Amino acid sequence: MNERKRKVKVVVISDIHLGFVGCRAKELNKYLQSIEPEILIINGDFIDIWQFRSYYFPKSHSKVLEYVFKFISEGVKVYYLTGNHDEMLRRYSGLNLGNLELEDKLVLELDGKKHWFFHGDIFDVTMQGSRWLAKLGTTGYEILILINKLVNFFLVLFGREKSSFSQEVKFATKRGVKKLHNHETTAVEIALDEGYDVVINGHVHLPCIKKIETERGCVTYMNSGDWVENMTALEYNNGEWKLVWYKNLIFPETWLKVEEEDLP
């Protein structure tokens, strides 16, 4: 591997949504090209089976798969944890193919602390109640992403900054769901019951690292965000987690060449 790549002990990404028009696969490819992880955890919604279209799977999406399999062939341990958008794979949970493991959840001990990884959709009332309603909302979000792309095209054309009203709508919706059903608090309470020190989720597309204190104890809660709008990952090195934003990374020019998509 290239020595200029950043060596990272653990990398967590989630909510990539390959096969979805809003997936930022080109940016993810550049990020994957820049790291040399020991462990890669894909925390759900890697392939968007809900929104999958046989006519839409651009080269950049395929390239993401190539990078993941490249990691596996080079000895990187890859854990694929299922989410609601790739829930069809849950029937194969427990599958172990050398350096690739498919699971619904994962517990790892890192530097003496127990880490609990799972996608987080089990706490979402829209998933627990009406699945058709959740899928309808996803379709609406896809349309909003397309409209947002069109608006941004004209904003750039007239020298204005890009806008992300689709993100604002989605964040507002997710905040309401989280507040109503105490997503984070529920995860922390279960973690305390099981003796976990850290909880890592995806699903809500709200990247964060925070300590949540209760009367029973303190747990670190983290969310790895997404690769639709935030473009974030969690990285663990030397006993410390950090939230990495794609927009803050600098890539050597030689790493920026990614195959162009067949479709816009």
CATH of the domain at 186: 3.60.21.10
Question: Domain range holding 146?
Answer: 7-255
The string of pLDDT tens digits covering residues 114-155 is 999 999 888 764 444 444 334 434 445 555 555 565 555 554
Is the pLDDT reported for residue 31 higher than 90? Answer: yes
Q: Confirm whether 263 is domain-assigned.
A: no
Is the pLDDT reported for residue 3 higher than 90? Answer: no
Total domains, the chain: 1
CA distance 4 to 9: 16
Q: Confirm whether 1 is domain-assigned.
A: no
Is the pLDDT reported for residue 243 higher than 80? Answer: yes
Ramachandran category for residue 231: left, alpha or beta (phi over 0 → left; psi -120 to 50 → alpha): left
258 confidence band (pLDDT: 50, 70, 90) = low
Q: Are 198 and 220 in contact (CB under 8 A)?
A: yes
Q: Are 237 and 155 in contact (CB under 8 A)?
A: no
Q: What is the mean pLDDT of residues 172-191?
A: 66
Q: Confirm whether 97 is domain-assigned.
A: yes
- What integer pLDDT is reported at residue 179 of this predicted model? 47
Mean pLDDT of the chain: 82
- What integer pLDDT is reported at residue 147 of this predicted model? 55
Q: Confirm whether 63 is domain-assigned.
A: yes
- What integer pLDDT is reported at residue 206 of this predicted model? 87
The string of pLDDT tens digits covering residues 182-232 is 678 888 899 999 999 999 999 888 899 999 998 899 999 999 999 998 999
Structure tokens at 251: 């890539």
4 confidence band (pLDDT: 50, 70, 90) = confident
Phi, psi of 130, deg, nearest 5: -110, 105
- Residue 161 DSSP class: P
Q: Confirm whether 33 is domain-assigned.
A: yes
pTM greater than the 0.85 cutoff: no
Structure tokens at 233: 């990952």
Structure tokens at 194: 């099981």
